């Protein structure tokens, strides 16, 4: 019992230290240009958007002052009413919409979204497989880090396409069908590429009664459509608002380094599977780099790292 309490205390202490480190790091990088940083008269924001943002934020602050925590302590009111909370949220939403109307989608945002999508998608997939099939296995898609690039590319593509749809006030039905097309095309292309070039398969829907191809099924197309709607209307606006626009060189350098790391990770993954296929065919390494890949990324490493992956050997060359 004492050991368990000490262990819990150590874990909480480590989490507290990690959170403090992350906060200091984010503070060192600098914050994005959020709504509250754009209300000053000296900020380089187009006048029409600056005026809207200042008006909406001022209304939200006024409501908070009149009905927030300090006002509650002074008047004895313990909780905001539903109408008061709605008024604050309405002002914040309008300020966010004005900010997003001004903001431009840049590679800075796409790199962060790819990273977040890759990690979040991996976590959700592993949880889904655990609760639906009782499977606990590594379902990563790259040799380094907890990333599943299929979800990263999906989040990035949805952001790029749905951002334009949102700007054009596209109907929910149009967003749904575009998301279905994006998700289905991405699954088909990824599954086909893995099997064609690396003789590998990470998933198959061939056993499902509603499958269209080996990698596409109607039920998951529906999920892609719902995900696209949720992403466009709920997740993406708030995520982009929170990311903001880069305001310091440190932010740009840090995200650029992340992009280089992810590019190197994808390249090394392709090289590992390329050499796996070559080894199965009996093709020896052609240079020192391929020799290094064979020595460090063996068949055993690939089997342990990509536990949900099925690899079939191609024809052996004597």
For 298-310, b where at least 16 C-beta lie within 10 A, e where not — what string? Answer: eeeebeebbebbe
pLDDT, position 242: 81
C-alpha triplet 208, 196, 212: angle, nearest 5°: 25
> What is the tally of structural domains in the chain?
3
| Alpha-helical runs (H) found in 68-167 | 69-75, 82-102, 107-133, 149-167
pLDDT score for 43: 46
Closest to 91 in 3D by CA, of 55, 66, 67: 55
Residues 136 and 77 in one domain: no
Q: Are residues 114 and 94 in the same domain?
A: no
- List of long-range contacts for 36-39, beta carbons under 8 Å, 24+ apart: 37/244, 37/247, 38/99
The answer to pTM > 0.95 is no
Give helix 2-29 / helix 249-280 axis angle, nearest 10°: 120
- The ranges of the chain with pLDDT < 70 are 1-82, 84-85, 87-88, 312-318
Count CA atoms closer than 13 A to 55's CA, side-chain side: 9
**pLDDT of res. 318:** 41
* pLDDT confidence of residue 141: 85
Pair 21, 71 in one domain: no
One domain, residues 10 and 40: no
Residue 194 is predicted with a pLDDT of 83
Residues 221 and 287 in one domain: yes
> Do 21 and 113 lie in a common domain?
no
Q: Domain range spanning residue 60? A: 33-102
**What confidence score (pLDDT) does residue 212 get?**
92
In the prediction, which pLDDT does 37 show? 47
What pLDDT score was predicted for residue 292?
93
Residues 133 and 250 in one domain: yes
Regarding whether 187 and 41 lie in a shared domain, the answer is: no
User: Are residues 52 and 132 both part of a single domain?
Assistant: no
Q: Are residues 53 and 123 in the same domain?
A: no
Are 44 and 136 part of one and the same domain?
Answer: no
- Per-residue model confidence as pLDDT tens digits over 179-194: 999 899 989 998 898 8
């Amino acid at each position: 019992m004492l050991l368990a309490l000490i262990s819990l205390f150590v874990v909480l202490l480590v989490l507290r230290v990690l959170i403090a480190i992350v906060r200091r790091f984010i503070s060192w990088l600098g914050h994005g240009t959020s709504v509250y940083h754009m209300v000053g008269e000296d900020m380089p924001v187009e006048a029409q958007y600056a005026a809207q943002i200042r008006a909406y934020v001022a209304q939200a602050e006024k409501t908070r002052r009149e009905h927030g925590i300090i006002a509650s302590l002074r008047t004895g009111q313990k909780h905001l009413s539903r109408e008061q909370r709605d008024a604050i949220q309405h002002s914040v939403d309008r300020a966010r919409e004005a900010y997003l109307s001004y903001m431009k989608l840049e590679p800075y945002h796409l790199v962060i979204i790819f990273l977040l999508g890759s990690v979040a998608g991996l976590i959700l997939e592993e949880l889904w497989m655990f609760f639906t099939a009782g499977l606990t296995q590594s379902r990563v898609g790259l040799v380094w880090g907890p990333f599943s690039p299929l979800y990263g590319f999906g989040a990035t593509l949805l952001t790029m396409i749905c951002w334009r749809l949102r700007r054009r006030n596209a109907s929910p039905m149009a967003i749904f069908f575009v998301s279905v097309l994006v998700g289905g095309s991405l699954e088909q292309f990824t599954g086909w590429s893995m099997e064609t070039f690396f003789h590998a398969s990470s998933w198959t829907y061939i056993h499902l009664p509603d499958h269209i191809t080996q990698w596409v099924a109607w039920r998951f197309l529906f999920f892609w459509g719902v995900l696209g709607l949720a992403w466009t209307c709920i997740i993406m606006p708030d995520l982009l608002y929170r990311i903001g626009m880069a305001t310091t060189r440190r932010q740009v350098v840090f995200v650029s380094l992340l992009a280089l790391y992810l590019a190197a990770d994808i390249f090394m993954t392709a090289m590992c599977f390329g050499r796996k296929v070559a080894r199965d065919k009996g093709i020896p390494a052609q240079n020192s780099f391929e020799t290094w890949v064979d020595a460090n990324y063996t068949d055993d490493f690939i089997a342990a790292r990509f536990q949900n992956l099925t690899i079939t050997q191609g024809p052996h060359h004597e």
